Chain A
Amino acid sequence: MTIEELENRARLLRKDIVEMIYNAKSGHPGGSLSCIDIMTVLFHEKMNMDEDRFVLSKGHCAPAYYACLASIGKIPHEDLNTLRKIDSYLEGHPSNKINGIDVSSGSLGQGLSVANGMALAKQLDGERGKIYCMLGDGEIEEGQIWEAAMTANKYSLNNVVAFVDYNGLQIDGSIMDVKGVNNLKEKFEAFGWNVQEINGHDMQAIIDAIDNTNDSDKPNVIIAKTIKGKGVSFMENQVGWHGKAPNEEEYKQAMEELSK
């Protein structure tokens, strides 16, 4: 896809996210909208579905995941509006019973270890392919992330490409106020990782950053500066939109903004 096509695709996926959460009357729009540009690049440009794997460690951004799966034909698009409903298979957080999802997630801090396991399996078998793992910036407050960071370093898992969706906000406020998540680059470097910092809404930057991991001999992390709620004016950088559904009026405004 061209950059323009990717941007347009991301816009459509944002509409799916907002509509899904509006219909579900609950869900997590803020983080879904902040990571969707990266996921658009992964699902529509960089991932080889036969070789590569994806782990959504920040599982509450399931709407972004489901929208991507629908857009590549893994699940029917019309099913998206059954999200979180009693007769739907689209659980509030990802389940690997859903076509296209390798591992269930939702309890934070656990996806990087699973990605490592998948990467080790490839390493043992001499198989090609990367394991992409989407982490939240609040999520990395979980200690297990750093256990996994050490394991990836120990086994030189250069086929691991993690993203930190660095939108700066978590449920109780800014990540600096809640836990003081700072110096991320230095932290990951100290753990032996190849670190890149990019604008997580710049399609070309995302593509380049992924390409830059091709010759890496270390595990890779791309710290992607993003805007929580990106694309919907009243949700942007608002912590209150972490886990809340829009009402009818807000929904209409959001869809109008995303139609441009």
Chain B
Amino acid sequence: MISTRKAYGEFLTEIGDNPDVVVLDADLAAATKTDMFKKEYPERHIDVGIAEQDLVGTAVGLALSGKTVFASTFAMFMAGRAYDQVRNMAAYSHSNVNLCATHAGVMVGEDGPTHQCIEDIAIMNVIPTMKVFCPADGVSTKKILSICMNEDGPKYIRLGRSDLPELYTDEEFHVGGSHTCGDGKDGTVFATGSTVSIALEAQNELKEKGINIRVVDLYSIKPVDKEEIVRCAKETEKLVTIEDHSIIGGIGSIVSDVLTELYPKKVEKIGINDTFGKSGKWTEVYKYFGLTKENIMYKFIQE
């Protein structure tokens, strides 16, 4: 078990001997895990203090000077506080900056709604040229980050606070890719980040009841794997999405958009339904909002 933010910190230390790598933070290094890099390469760790707009602007200046830049703060402040800077400086200036936002979604837990960003996928997705990724475990976090390092243009990498089970070993990841587990015909669950492992648990328990579904890990949210979404829509019966994000503008909307255009079919969305988050242990908060294997199973068993 490892959180995707911790995997991010480990990744930074693994690539840290590259002198072009610069890591920025806004007074959250211990939480975003950039402190792991700071410990080994303090001269290339820039902390701008509690100033997220300055964080993004400074990151863009470094990136436009040829540096390989990773900038971190909580998702709420990267996508919320610094939206204009991300859009007008990072994206419109065609910078190669990697915006690694941790503490996304209600997984934040106890800190509650002000710190639970459930809009960042929607916000980042609408920015022209922005690429959006959301890894589901430690291995995929590192693989996706290493792709981002060499990928042109601005990237938003959505990371979480809490430990998740390891799902991958040596699978390949790429921009616009996805991973599908299983070849059942009864339905497909599209998930991203923390909800992938929840969907896999549901898949296992449904199998015992004779219901065979697929789980698609949409780790690349933009560009999204349209072909795989359409293939699953054609080959399986019921379609469900589950995400630690608003159902408005998240992967539920994205999958629906793809299907509206290419293969119209009903999609049932599980996520935060146009409301703010809630304080509590993250597992309790997930239960509160129905981000559970039981809720997924119910979608397939109810009829």
Contacts and interface: CB of A to CB of B under 8 A. Distances in A.
Given A117-B59, A120-B22, A144-B53, 19 more contacts: A104-B89, A105-B89, A110-B53, A110-B84, A110-B88, A113-B89, A114-B57, A116-B54, A116-B58, A116-B61, A117-B58, A117-B61, A118-B65, A120-B46, A147-B49, A148-B54, A148-B58, A150-B54, A151-B58
Contacts of B44: 124
Nearest to B57: A113
7 contacts: A96-B94, A110-B84, A110-B89, A113-B60, A116-B61, A147-B51, A151-B48
Nearest to B93: A104
B53 A117 contact: no
Chain B interface secondary structure, helix, strand, loop or mixed? helix
A122 interface: yes
B64 A113 contact: no
B58 A122 contact: no
Contact of B89 (A103, A118, A121, A124): A103
A26 interface: no
Interface string B33-51: 0000000000110101101
A115 interface: yes
Interface residues of A, number: 32
B203 to A, nearest CB: 45
A259 to B, nearest CB: 37
Contacts of A113: 53-54, 56-58, 60-61, 85, 89
B118 interface: no
A38 B117 CA distance: 44
Contacts of B59: 117
A253 B194 CA distance: 66
B61 A103 contact: yes
A115 B44 CA distance: 17
Contacts of A174: none
A120 B61 contact: yes
Contacts of A110: 53, 57, 84-85, 88-89
A103 B22 contact: no
B62 interface: yes
Contacts of B56: 113
A118 B61 CA distance: 5
Contacts of B49: 147, 150-151, 154
B62 A117 contact: yes
B92 A114 contact: no
A82 interface: no
A121 B51 CA distance: 19
A122 B64 CA distance: 12
A153 B180 CA distance: 50
B179 interface: no
B63 interface: yes
B62 A118 contact: yes
Contacts of B60: 103, 113-114, 117
Interface in A91-120: 95-97, 102-107, 109-120
Contacts, number: 106
- Best-surrounded residue of B51, B65, B92 (most CB of chain A within 10 A): B65
B43 A124 contact: yes
Please classify how large the interface on chain B is, using the bins under 10, 10 to 19, 20 to 34, 35 or more. 20 to 34
Interface of A: 95-97, 102-107, 109-122, 124, 143-144, 147-148, 150-151, 154-155
Contact of B54 (A118, A122, A124, A147): A147
B66 interface: yes
- Best-surrounded residue of A107, A111, A117, A121 (most CB of chain B within 10 A): A117
A97 B91 CA distance: 12
Contacts of B88: 104-107, 110
Contact of B93 (A103, A109, A116): A103
B57 A144 contact: yes
Interface in B125-153: none
B58 A114 contact: yes
B18 to A, nearest CB: 13
Contacts of B64: 96, 102-103, 114, 117-118
Given A114-B58, A121-B61, A151-B54, A104 B92 contact: yes
A144 B50 CA distance: 11
A6 B92 CA distance: 33
Contacts of A105: 88-89
B43 to A, nearest CB: 7
Contacts of A96: 64, 93-94
Contact of B65 (A95, A104, A117): A117
B226 interface: no
A147 B54 CA distance: 6
B299 interface: no
Contact of B57 (A106, A148, A150, A155): A148
A67 B247 CA distance: 48
Contacts of B65: 117-118, 121-122
B105 to A, nearest CB: 27
B238 interface: no
Contacts of A111: 57
B224 to A, nearest CB: 27
B143 to A, nearest CB: 28
